[in-house]
Amino acid sequence: MKTQRIRDPIHGLIVFDDDGLVDESVWALLNAPEIQRLRRIKQLGVSEFVFPSASHTRFSHSIGVFHNARRLVGIIRREIELKRVEGDFNEGRAKVALFAALLHDIGHGPFSHAFEEARKALATERLTEAAPKTKSAIMRRSPPI
């Protein structure tokens, strides 16, 4: 893989090198349709109606989270190698953490956090309406004591 770059307004230049497996796999994932759909999902919901410059997608957010996770893994590796902290660096766990950072928003739909409270209220309302019916059905099926 040739070196790829993404210029991020917050993190600056994010470089994807031929580092073995992680960067190449991450670059391939970034080009997958499942990740590309995150470009159309806003991270901040309807906030941009009040703050027009608050336009941020789940795609750019996921790249930023991956970038920060990669930096953090590098710091942990360095601190262990310099014996500033005890323990052994676990390469497998580091890779899992990096992929988890990239993919953590993959299941989000549009406005997913913005409507959480509305969804909870609707679920509570449905449960309240269903409770008498459920109780009645249980009573019909239960033998008398």
> With 90 as the cut, is the pLDDT of residue 110 above it?
no
Contact 59, 36 (CB under 8 A): yes
Question: Facing residues of 13 across strands?
Answer: 7
pTM over 0.95? The answer is no
Q: What is the mean pLDDT of residues 79-107?
A: 94
Element (H, E) at 117: helix 116-141
pLDDT, the chain, mean: 85
Helices 91-103 and 58-81: crossing angle in degrees, nearest 10, is: 160
Give the Å distances, CA to CA, from 122 to 111, 114, 116.
16, 14, 10
Q: What is the DSSP letter of 82?
A: T
State residue 23's pLDDT score. Answer: 92
pLDDT at residue number 4: 94
List, for residues 50-64, the tens digit of each pLDDT value: 888 878 889 999 999
Res 139 pLDDT > 70? no
